[in-house]
């Protein structure tokens, strides 16, 4: 059974960087049959897919256009986890952030982290 455990601060100041980590158990971040995603939810935007990383003989990254200029999702194979960095945050980035796994079996978000409420405020 796959489990995703999120960690990271719940409060970030405007213009600073939001950083979250998702630790994986029961699968490998280097798996050739999974993709590792970040999704957020806010009252104004609903559920919004932010980006993903996945390994298919080499590493790939895809990002939503809405955040493409300021997002980085990185795998960490030594710790079997992946991270989210969102730069230059504003109060509009206040949301609950989730990590989630997609597999080539269903191609949908089957496994999710517990969610982290991140508030952008000074």
Partner 1 sequence: EIVLTQSPATLSLSPGERATLSCRASQSVSNYLAWYQHKPGQAPRLLIYDASKRATDIPARFSGSGSGTDFTLTISSLEPEDFAVYYCQQRTNWPDTFGQGTKLEIK
Q: Which residues of 82-109 are buried (b: 16+ CB within 10 A; e: fewer)?
A: bbbebeebeeebbbebbbbbbbeeeeeb
Footprint on this chain of partner 1 (rule: CB under 8 A): 46-49, 62, 64-65, 98, 100, 106-110, 112-115
State the nearest-atom distance from the C-beta of 108 to partner 1, in Å.
Answer: 5
Based on CB atoms, which residue is closest to partner 1, 20 or 100? 100
CA 54 to chain centre: 12
State the nearest-atom distance from the C-beta of 113 to partner 1, in Å.
Answer: 7
Based on CB atoms, which residue is closest to partner 1, 64 or 72? 64
Q: Which residues of 40-78 are buried (b: 16+ CB within 10 A; e: fewer)?
A: beeeeeeeeebbbbbbeeeeeeebeeebeeebebebeee
Based on CB atoms, which residue is closest to partner 1, 107 or 122? 107
State the nearest-atom distance from the C-beta of 33 to partner 1, in Å.
Answer: 16
State the nearest-atom distance from the C-beta of 107 to partner 1, in Å.
Answer: 6
User: Distance between CA atoms of 54 and 122, rounded to whole angstroms?
Assistant: 34
Based on CB atoms, which residue is closest to partner 1, 55 or 97? 97
């Amino acid at each position: 059974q796959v489990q995703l455990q999120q960690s990271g601060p719940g409060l970030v100041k405007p213009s600073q960087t939001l950083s979250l980590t998702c630790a994986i158990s029961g699968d490998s971040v280097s798996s050739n049959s999974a993709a590792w995603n970040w999704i957020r939810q806010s009252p104004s935007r609903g559920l919004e897919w932010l980006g993903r990383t996945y390994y298919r003989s080499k590493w790939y990254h895809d990002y939503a256009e809405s955040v493409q200029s300021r997002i980085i999702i990185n795998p960490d194979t030594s710790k079997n986890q992946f991270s989210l960095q969102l730069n230059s945050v504003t109060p509009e980035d206040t949301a609950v952030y989730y990590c989630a796994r997609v597999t080539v079996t269903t191609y949908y978000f089957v496994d999710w982290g517990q969610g982290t409420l991140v508030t952008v405020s000074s």
